Amino acid sequence: MITVNLRPNLKRKRAGSPFQGAMQGVRGLGSKIKDPLLLVAVASWVGVLGWLGFVVLGTTRDLNALEPQLEVTRAEHRRFKAFLTEKRHQETIRDSLVAQISVIRHVDGDRYVWSHVLDEVTKALPAYTWLITVGTAAVVPAAAPAAAPASSKAADSAANAPPAPSVIQFEVNGRTVDIQAYTRFLRQLEASPWITDVTPVSAQTVVEKERPLTAFTIRATYRQADSAYIRTVPLSQSVR
């Protein structure tokens, strides 16, 4: 390619670098701006914008790093929320069962008293001795608690607790042909874990069908035996 210089008296200018042009623009801008406070304000805004950009970038980076932990925490929250819901449901069922058992205990508290009394009297009865009557002498209601519970939890426990059984005094009238059998009957009644305060009321000789007999009256008190003396059996049992 042939280049023809139509103006031979003028020298060609060498092309400058872009960086040099930018520096010249900055110098020209500095020469145009005569107020130094304006320069300080511009520099301050540039610094603030740079700092804000750095903070935004750092916050975005930290947020992206915390996203997996947030998902894990949400999963744990859902799991524990389901666990607490199930726990409350189970506690509701437990409280309902405890209330039903408490009602049954209040209703059934004295149901089997006479079964124990007759069973223990029968076990203690010696040979050549028979009974005429077995009846109630007195029923003493259970004593009320002296002080109220201090907390609501203790109040709930006291409300769900089984009622204290009444103190039942009973009287036994019988006959025997042997005075030693009568004393043996007293000792065996006193040895029973279900009977206490065995007291002989009277013992006298009577004639029945031309035979001398000893007519006796005994008064005793029923008490709840220790759990070691209570034997439980299942209501249903499989037979092979």
* Tens-place pLDDT, residues 50-93: 888 888 888 888 888 888 888 888 899 999 999 999 999 999 99
Residues of the chain with pLDDT under 70: 1-35, 108-110, 138-166, 232-240
The pLDDT score that the predictor gives to residue 105 is: 75
Alpha-carbon separation of residue 30 from 17, 18, 25, 36, 46 (angstroms): 20, 18, 9, 10, 16
Phi, psi of 233 (to 5 degrees): -130, 150
The pLDDT score that the predictor gives to residue 147 is: 47
The pLDDT score that the predictor gives to residue 220 is: 93
The pLDDT score that the predictor gives to residue 198 is: 92
The pLDDT score that the predictor gives to residue 124 is: 92
Sign of the C-alpha dihedral computed for residues 27, 33, 37 and 40 taken in this order: negative
pLDDT in tens, 149-161: 445 455 455 555 5
The pLDDT score that the predictor gives to residue 184 is: 93
The pLDDT score that the predictor gives to residue 240 is: 59
